Structure 1
Amino acid sequence: MPAMWSLDQTFETSAGTVVARVAGDGPPLVLAHGWPWSSYSWHRITPALEARFRVHAYDMPGFGRSQKDGARPPSIDVQGEVFCEMLDHWGLDAPRVVAHDFGGAVTLRAHLLRGRDYTALVLMNVVAMRPWGSDFFEHVKRHVDAFTGLPPHIHKAVVCAYIDSALAHPIAPDDYDGLDAPWLTPDGQTAFWRQFALADERFTAEMEDRYGDLRCPASVLWGADDPWIPLARGAALAERIGVPLTQMDGLGHLPQLEDPPRVARAILSRLEG
């Protein structure tokens, strides 16, 4: 991982130890990553964000460099609780929030089900509307036990192929290593497959009829060529919230790494607008 992506904070949450970073000057901004990523997925756009905001980022329990074998399974409902714990830890009452992938469900749960306020919320290619995931995701979820014991070299090949399948535009070669490395250790391999088993659409089903009740300005950005969560799902979410959908043509499920300058501009325009 690049030297600039340091995670120099450690915090004990109800789901295990997490690592985090805070950098930049300005109003508080919190980044919520998704699956199977970590806070590293933001590293190409944080310099632009940190020039305007004090940016808070962390690896969720079970992900990245955070503890992968905590006392509580790191499902989306638990992650929503931990997100609230992190806001308390940082002393943030109503930060701006940018969420990606299941970070969308996590931050929406904290807002709609646990009463946390945001100054603004940007949702980018998020898990928020059923059905979830790719065909491969659904297949593994039905047959998790067949994958958990893969030999390490085959596990690595599957992880790399899975990450590559999210993209519609090439990313920097070094970024592949930063994305897949956390899953290639013994505990990482266990954590990777466990996430498929923990996925449960009820974690968004119980909120879907409340998306029109958001208490903050919201924006929906979408890599239009997302192979995992189609643009139509983003359009349905934007309609449910009552905001326009901003589609980013030519980009897939990881816009922030596929075209960092373009995505940073889009996010900043919504946070500062």
Structure 2
Amino acid sequence: MTHQEWTEAQEETTIMVDTHDLTVSYYDEGDTEASENPLVFLHGIPTWSYLWRGVAPAFEDDRRVIAPDFVGYGNSAMHDGFDRSIRAQEQVLDGLVAQLEVDQIDLVAHDIGGGVALRYAAHNPDAVGKLVLSNSIAYDSWPIQFIVDLGLPGTINDMSVDDVDEQLTQMFQSTLIEPDDEFVEAMASRFRSDEGRISLSRNAIATNTSHTTEIDYNAITAETSFIWGENDGFQPIEFAEQLNDDLEDTAGIARLDANHWVPEDRSTAFVDALSSFLE
């Protein structure tokens, strides 16, 4: 599926984040009458729901599959003037689940999406059945220097749209195992405007480590599994090991030969590992 086709398949709603009514785009496909929990996929920075193109559709025959674009990303609201932190993105998830009238979900999350998932699972233990974290932020594992630099107003103000586009393209091409032109284009294209350029900077500067250090990890009761690219220089596997030790109910770590973008680089192995855990 191309990113244009994915975009066309998305739906839109309005969710209040703090005092702002913001447009949220989300992918919602599969079996809406399935007895199992809806399977919700959360992306990170600087990606959007299309990150899950090789994973989410594999579950649509048996599950309802939902993948939102966080605010400031993808096809959701990008205008200036609202919080993009994982605290705010937790409100996006909470609001979307409430609007869809879903009682319990299974969460699959990557990068900062993992931070959102950890917060949501800690604050709503009865609402999460199973939790899967992939190269997720946690504790004080973030932000990485690349994101810190993008969040500096002095940096982004000196960058044109073309500069941002080139930097994102180079970053994905250098960190994906086998860069796919469609995927790289999809990721970079969402920020290819002045609004997108500023939104990327606001997303980056909103990376607040306090929002994961303050989590009560003992409050997370969902059975949790980890699908981790073991060669990741952004979120090293040691953090998966720490989470595996600290959380109450864990099923271990699936260690994949991948870097950070494991849902894209190892989508088949990811589907296999996720299927095994969900059985």
Which moves more between the two structures, 255-264 or 69-78? 69-78
From the superposition, tell whether residues 53 and 175 of structure 1 become closer, same or farther in structure 2 (CA, over 3 Å). Answer: same
Say whether the 8 Å CA contact 2:150–2:200 is kept in structure 1.
Answer: no
Give a deviation string over 1:210-256, Cα, whole Å, max 9, x none. 32332221111210011211111221122111535424332011111
Say whether the 8 Å CA contact 2:125–2:222 is kept in structure 1.
Answer: no
For 1:145-156, list aligned pairs within 5 A: 145-156=154-165
Q: Shift of residue 47 of structure 1?
A: 2.1
Q: Distance in 2 between matches of 1:265 and 1:229?
A: 22
Give a deviation string over 1:95-142, Cα, whole Å, max 9, x none. 11111111111122122135561111111111112131333234444x
Say whether the 8 Å CA contact 1:129–1:237 is kept in structure 2.
Answer: no
Counterpart residue identity of residue 194, structure 1: R
The gaps in structure 2 that reach 5 residues or longer are none
Give TM-score scaled by structure 2 length. 0.89
Q: Secondary structure at the match of 1:270?
A: helix
Say whether the 8 Å CA contact 1:133–1:229 is kept in structure 2.
Answer: no
- Decide which of 228, 234, 240 is 1:228's aligned counterpart: 234
Say whether the 8 Å CA contact 1:7–1:19 is kept in structure 2.
Answer: no
Q: Shift of residue 270 of structure 1?
A: 1.0
Give TM-score scaled by structure 1 length. 0.91
Cα-Cα RMSD: 1.9
- Decide which of 153, 174, 181 is 2:182's aligned counterpart: 174
Q: Counterpart in 2 of 1:186?
A: 194
Q: Secondary structure at the match of 2:190?
A: helix
Q: Distance in 1 between matches of 2:124 and 2:107?
A: 15
Q: Counterpart in 2 of 1:162?
A: 171
Q: Counterpart in 1 of 2:145?
A: 135
Q: Counterpart in 2 of 1:37?
A: 47
- Decide which of 264, 275, 279 is 1:268's aligned counterpart: 275
Q: Shift of residue 192 of structure 1?
A: 0.8
Q: Distance in 2 between matches of 1:160 and 1:148?
A: 19
For 1:1-273, list aligned pairs within 5 A: 1-2=2-3, 4-5=5-6, 6-15=8-17, 16-25=22-31, 26=34, 27=36, 28-69=38-79, 72-114=82-124, 117-141=127-151, 143-167=152-176, 169-207=177-215, 210-242=216-248, 243=250, 245-272=252-279
Give a deviation string over 1:33-84, Cα, whole Å, max 9, x none. 1111100100111221212211011111110011112653121111111110
From the superposition, tell whether residues 116 and 68 of structure 1 become closer, same or farther in structure 2 (CA, over 3 Å). Answer: farther
Q: Distance in 2 between matches of 1:175 and 1:12?
A: 27
Tell me the percent identity. Answer: 24
Q: Distance in 2 between matches of 1:212 and 1:184?
A: 41
Q: Shift of residue 163 of structure 1?
A: 2.8
Q: Distance in 1 between matches of 2:126 and 2:156?
A: 37
From the superposition, tell whether residues 9 and 218 of structure 1 become closer, same or farther in structure 2 (CA, over 3 Å). Answer: same
Q: How many correspondences in the alignment?
A: 268
